[in-house]
Structure 1
Amino acid sequence: MTTRSTELLRLAHTRPGVTRADAARLLGLGTGAATEIVSRLAHASLLAEAPAPPSGGRGRPTTALIAHPTGPLVLAVAITHEDWRIDVVELGGATLTSVAAPHTSPDWAAVSASVTAAASSLRLAYGERLRAMGLSVPGTVSPDLRLDASGLGWHDVDLTALLLADASSGPHLMARGDASLGPLLVARNDASLAAAAESARGAAVGATVALHLRIEAGLGGAVVDHGRVLTGARGAGGEFGHMPFGDPAVTCPCGAQGCWGTAVDGTAMARLLGRPAPPDPVTYARRLISSTQPAEQAAVRAVAATLGRGIAGLVNGLDADLVTLGGLGADLLAAAPAEIATAYRAGLMRVHRPAPPPLLQAALGDDGPITGAGEEAWSLLLPWLT
């Protein structure tokens, strides 16, 4: 029964508003068993029911399964190179509260202090309802939850320390262990979480093998194979921005030369224009993408072509059936589709050319990483609730 309860909660989360009748059918439950499980979950403040929209069919009206008004919640946290955001997310994925702010300093100590203060305030407001936290960060995350973001100078950062800093404001967050002792923590690279979100709720739903690429201050990505994100042995899977698809004369902050990420972001556009590296490469790139100046548009087109060639190489190697683009990747696809498409097709193996895997803008846009953080937190929490 515990397993069935977890399955029912997971279904209510992945298909918000699913009716009790449909849930019973999808899980292979009889009417009586479904009623019993729903009643038990409602008594435990894990699930609630609401009148389902009229279906127009005959028979008894059924009810929709929704988040309990006093039920468990998770924190979804997204830290980028420019700002941070925290969402309070209920079962089903709806956001109850959201707070955000730009970084006052690029120093990790300042960033962590700001995020910790905001998380502490939310823990005070929601108390023990907050049971798990998902964290999206712009760098690689090791299995023991240590962050390395070479482009930002954040090295060997203990992410558990970030969110455990204020023990006085609420229950501790735990990376592993018994959820009854306090909330759980999961942390991943932003591109990996965006990929997971696109496969769960976005443009890649139903794909067999989906490739997601996200450009901000550099390029990251992930492969989702049958709904599972491939993170690698050390959590560094999907660092496609460090493949040697760029200019070998350019040294990347990671220490390698010719990294693809250095050829497709705002710093690449500035370099093509003979300008110094911008302090905020994403803001700078978006300004150039919307510019009408011929020289700036030429830089945008050149970067778009480099992006298209690299995507072709990944499709050749991974045999993905679609590619989603987030961050600046989506902006480039909208602004220079011909340049990307031409370079992409030219780089594809002959076997892929009759039906090239489509290049799609990420449906979740800039919300991809934080949506993925919430999804991962709920995925971690659900088995502990029943």
Structure 2
Amino acid sequence: MQKQTAAHRVHTLRRQGALALLRHAHAHPAATRADAARALGLSSGSATEITARLKALRLLDETVPPQTGGRGRPSPALTAHPRGPLVCAVSIGHERWRTATVELGGRAVDGDAGRNPPGGAPAVLGVLRARIAAARRRHGHRIRAVSVAVAGTLRGTTIVQASGLNWHDIALEPLRAAPGTPLLAGNDASMAGLAEARRGAAAGARVSLHLTVEVGVGGILIVDGRPVEGATGAGGEFGHMPFGDPGLSCPCGARGCWDLAVDGRAMARALGRPEPRDPRTEAERILAAARSDPAARAAVGEAARALGRGAGALVNALDPELVTLSGLATGLVATAPDELDEGYTAALMRFRRAGPPPLVPSALGPASPLTGAAEAAFDAVLSDGGFQSWSDETES
């Protein structure tokens, strides 16, 4: 029994070391074996031994980068194995869908995109199911997880409410690649925040807040590279906090939602126009008109001020190191920076004003929800269970 326990302990330590190196290679695609050894506190011999095992398991490879003209031969970089694990990332927006098959390190090996077809959720999910099935036919068992970013509120893998799509209680189970293959799902703004924290403007920050404006406001708090999603996965619905006019009803069922103060609906209302059928397109038109039309500029300024006020309130509550902004929020920053700053500063507690967390535009732009979905999928692949499952299949 004692020998079995000792053997099990050694096996566990080896698995933990292999996972640590694998996760490092995923997070730092250009890293060398020596880089990983330094970062993880491994000896050169241990790093070499672990790398050899991961290569044998078809999880990692080593590739010599092209010569840059310097002296000496460059060290080989740890890269995805050409027959290694892949994940399917999916993004469902208000108007368009996107898919990507992604390898370790974050590179997309293939992908597709298109407009949401008429027919609501069944039609959109049918298109996406066909794309995932095609990826499964191309890559077989290498597809280890599917992860979906959705412009809506989710509990687990069910969309409980997506007002912009007019979807309610939609199960995403049809998108599972195969029985037993993990299926994950999250709000698109939450996935975008995860992407910015891992590979974008908030990389290196321990605590960051992400906010995006599309149809309303979404976002997420990221702590140590992990999203704070709440008990059921529906956390981050910042747009439904009562930072707006309490006299206005929101499609979510609440009143006074922040959503109604910052997007195309708010700008149209400020201009005396009826509520637009497509708030995002309306916002883009008003942002473009603001360059020459004082009334449009004032409407944009009002929305920017409301965005700043809400961001300041969330900074007071959540204490992030920085706030990343994406979607239409970047247009508000570019068009009305003074109003945004005025609202933000006025909302901050006095002690924060000397050095407030900066408001930083997204580094990944429209690709961030899909990138975040891929990151969430690899979290499942690079877990104890995911590693063991791949190892068992490879070694059998």
Asked whether the equivalents of residues 132 and 173 of structure 1 are also in contact (C-alpha less than 8 Å), the reply is no
For 1:76, the equivalent position in structure 2 comes to 89
For 2:223, the equivalent position in structure 1 comes to 225
2-structure distance, mates of 1:22, 1:63: 11
- Map of 1:227-306 to 2, 5 A cutoff? 227-291=225-289, 292-306=292-306
Asked whether the equivalents of residues 87 and 146 of structure 2 are also in contact (C-alpha less than 8 Å), the reply is yes
- Map of 1:303-314 to 2, 5 A cutoff? 303-314=303-314
**Alignment identity in percent?**
51
Partner secondary structure for residue 382 of structure 2? helix
| Structure 2 residue 61 is the aligned partner of structure 1 residue 63 | no
1-structure distance, mates of 2:214, 2:134: 29
> Which letter does structure 2 place at the counterpart of 1:208?
R
- Identify the range of structure 1 (260-269 vs 60-69) with the bigger mean alpha-carbon deviation: 60-69
Structure 2 residue ranges without an equivalent (≥5): 1-13, 392-396
- Identify the range of structure 1 (95-104 vs 279-288) with the bigger mean alpha-carbon deviation: 279-288
Q: Using a 3 Å threshold, how does the CA distance of structure 1 residues 90 and 225 change in structure 2: closer, same or farther?
A: same
| Structure 2 residue 191 is the aligned partner of structure 1 residue 193 | yes
Asked whether the equivalents of residues 19 and 62 of structure 1 are also in contact (C-alpha less than 8 Å), the reply is yes
Alignment TM-score, normalising by the size of structure 2: 0.88
Q: CA RMSD in A?
A: 2.1
- Identify the range of structure 1 (47-56 vs 315-324) with the bigger mean alpha-carbon deviation: 47-56
2-structure distance, mates of 1:99, 1:186: 19
| Structure 2 residue 45 is the aligned partner of structure 1 residue 47 | no
Can you list the C-alpha shifts for 1:74-102, whole angstroms capped at 9, x where unaligned?
11111011110001111100111120001
1-structure distance, mates of 2:349, 2:44: 53
Q: Using a 3 Å threshold, how does the CA distance of structure 1 residues 216 and 106 change in structure 2: closer, same or farther?
A: farther
Q: Using a 3 Å threshold, how does the CA distance of structure 1 residues 208 and 26 change in structure 2: closer, same or farther?
A: closer
2-structure distance, mates of 1:92, 1:254: 38
Asked whether the equivalents of residues 266 and 278 of structure 1 are also in contact (C-alpha less than 8 Å), the reply is yes
- Identify the range of structure 1 (259-268 vs 138-147) with the bigger mean alpha-carbon deviation: 138-147
For 2:162, the equivalent position in structure 1 comes to 149
How far did residue 227 of structure 1 move? 2.3
1-structure distance, mates of 2:119, 2:344: 35
Alignment TM-score, normalising by the size of structure 1: 0.90
Q: Using a 3 Å threshold, how does the CA distance of structure 1 residues 51 and 163 change in structure 2: closer, same or farther?
A: same
Partner secondary structure for residue 193 of structure 2? helix
How far did residue 18 of structure 1 move? 0.7
How far did residue 247 of structure 1 move? 1.3
Can you list the C-alpha shifts for 1:155-191, whole angstroms capped at 9, x where unaligned?
111112x314xxxxxx5154xxxxxxxx321111111
For 1:102, the equivalent position in structure 2 comes to 115
> Which letter does structure 1 place at the counterpart of 2:237?
E
How far did residue 209 of structure 1 move? 2.1
Structure 1 residue ranges without an equivalent (≥5): 165-170, 175-182
Can you list the C-alpha shifts for 1:284-333, whole angstroms capped at 9, x where unaligned?
21121111322222211111111111111111222222111111111211
For 1:330, the equivalent position in structure 2 comes to 330
2-structure distance, mates of 1:60, 1:35: 19
Asked whether the equivalents of residues 194 and 372 of structure 2 are also in contact (C-alpha less than 8 Å), the reply is yes
Asked whether the equivalents of residues 267 and 277 of structure 1 are also in contact (C-alpha less than 8 Å), the reply is yes
- Map of 1:7-22 to 2, 5 A cutoff? 7-22=20-35
Q: Which 4+ residue blocks in structure 1 deviate beyond 3 angstroms?
A: 52-62, 143-147
